[in-house]
Amino acid sequence: MMSFMEKKTTTVRTFFIIMALLVFSLAFQGSRGLWERDEGRYTNIAMRMLQSGDFIVPAFNDDVPHFAKPPLTYWSIAGGVSLLGWNEWGARLPNALAFVGTILVIYAMARRIVPDRAWLPPLIYATCIVPFCAANVITTDTLLTLWEAIAVLGFIEWWHRREDSGMSRLPLNLLMWSGFGLAFLTKGPPGLLPLIAIMVFVGIKDGLKAIIRLFSFSGILVFVIVGFWWYVLVAITHPGIMKYFIRDEFVNRIATGMHHRNPEWYKPFVIYIPVLIIGTVPWTLPLIRAIRSFQFTLVSRSWWKDKLEHNQWPAFLVLWVALPLAVFFLSSSRLPLYVLPLFVPLSLATGRLTRFTPNSKTAVCLLAAWIVMLPAVKFAGSLYPFEKDSRKMARMIADKVHPIPREIVFVDSEPFWGLNLYLHSEVERVSISTPGTGGTLADELLFAELVEGETGILIVAEKRKEARVLAGCRQIGYEARTLGGYGKWVLIDPYQGFGKPPGS
């Protein structure tokens, strides 16, 4: 038993470690503006929830709902903004906290999988370049990684105590299904990919009956309550939405290229493999050594037999990486951060393989320099002249347009959705001719938007379309004028200073 002083020392040490992780994760988290398309899109939907008070139906604006993702990511962004204000710090706060949470969960896993050096896998994950940088990008993936890690932690503890009675293991089973429920409420079916590895591992080791024990009644009930309630609610209030979820967001993402997410057969090799290898820097060498020994281990029947009988966790880690990765390869929808959750098992596996030791002063100094450099990478992002930076466009609009427009309409192009965070303006996309032209799905025709007679509208168009937009506005009686430009964009006031539209 630990003495009182030992417990106090452990508590103080844990507190300072968590504080250090928070500083490491939050440093320069808000220094960069929102980069379109994804950061602006996610943030805009969260802001619309705060503005409308409707936290059930994700929406781009008053007219266009968006059911492509479940709402948990939007809720977390809205919570961060409510806490820290309408700024990038608030929008990225959930990712910073999820990143720290994942590190702590990996430590809990490592106590079972790498018990002699449990501190190493969380250190590896915290300093791998892709997980660290991904926590500074507003997407679903960092949050999803946390929930999946919690789910697998529940399984690892459940498996470790498999000799105990069923009731004593039930809370661990509930933890697993709660994690999967939160993952499902974050990204839908992809959140269940680790379950494939869990089922295969349990089936290989203990047979079908053991797999069935994973699916306890209480666990499934918790999963349904946590992960499915929102789907049920929107299915009741929006008839036909389940067909959209199943056909467009599940089947078509896997089997077709309709979402234009790198469907070509060779794209997994040029997207996922480099991300997984380069993304593990500065811990790549142990991973490469493991890949070089592939033929003597992972495809060796004797290796699998030995591990499953005497040391099961390496076999589980292989399944945890390989089976979800196979699904990503087979799917026709592919983006680099889809594989972010795989850095959790990769960190645990690297922790088993690496020879890193704190006794080496050179290695410790190099790692310390790397840890200092990582936050500087985030700061460097704020200096990069990215043309789709919503903060820069928002400042230009605020400088040239008075009063701030109530509604900002983008013509035949993907909007800067993040403008809502900075200007509190509703953002829409329209077409100058036919909805769907210009490479984006327009909400309606530009001139249908204008004839509604609403005031406070700003038109944003590419410079090459400026003359056409101005001529079209004047054809229907609006004395439109150009207010200025930003990069390839021009700002057009259809009503000369947002006065009352003619004829209204």
Per-residue pLDDT tens digits for 444-478: 787 777 777 677 899 999 999 998 888 888 877 78
Give me the pLDDT at residue 305, please: 85
Reported as a single tens digit per residue, the pLDDT across 290-312 is 777 766 677 788 888 888 888 89
Beta bridge partners of 431: 445
Confidence of residue 264 (pLDDT cuts 50, 70, 90): confident
Q: What is the average per-residue pLDDT within 48-64?
A: 93
Confidence of residue 260 (pLDDT cuts 50, 70, 90): low
Q: What is the average per-residue pLDDT within 28-46?
A: 96
Which residue shows structure tokens 């709902």? 65
For the chain, the average pLDDT equals 89
* Distant-in-sequence contacts of 237-241, Cβ < 8 A, 24+ apart: 237/56, 237/57, 238/57, 238/65, 238/67, 241/67
Segment of 55-64, 160-169, 353-362 carrying the highest mean pLDDT: 55-64
Helices 166-187 & 141-160, crossing angle to 10 degrees?
Answer: 170
Give me the pLDDT at residue 477, please: 77
Which of 170, 226, 166, 176 minimizes the C-alpha distance to 198?
Answer: 176
Confidence of residue 419 (pLDDT cuts 50, 70, 90): very high
Do the Cβ atoms of 430 and 452 come closer than 8 Å?
Answer: no
Give the predicted TM-score (pTM) of the model.
0.92
Q: What is the average per-residue pLDDT within 248-269?
A: 71
Q: Round to the nearest angstrom and report the end-to-end CA distance of the chain.
A: 80
Q: 372 to each of 24, 103, 130, 365, 375, how far by Cα in Å?
A: 9, 18, 16, 11, 6
Confidence of residue 358 (pLDDT cuts 50, 70, 90): confident
Do the Cβ atoms of 375 and 381 come closer than 8 Å?
Answer: no
pLDDT(323) > 70: yes
Do the Cβ atoms of 60 and 427 come closer than 8 Å?
Answer: yes
How far is residue 250's CA from residue 239's CA, in Å, rounded to a whole number? Answer: 18
pLDDT(503) > 60: no
Helices and strands in the chain: count of H runs, count of E runs: 23, 6
List the 444-445 sheet strands across, edge first: 444-445, 426-431, 407-411, 457-462, 489-493, 481-486
Domain extents for the chain?
Answer: 4-31+67-380, 390-493
Neighbouring CB atoms inside 10 A of 161's CB total: 12
Give me the pLDDT at residue 437, please: 43
Confidence of residue 438 (pLDDT cuts 50, 70, 90): very low
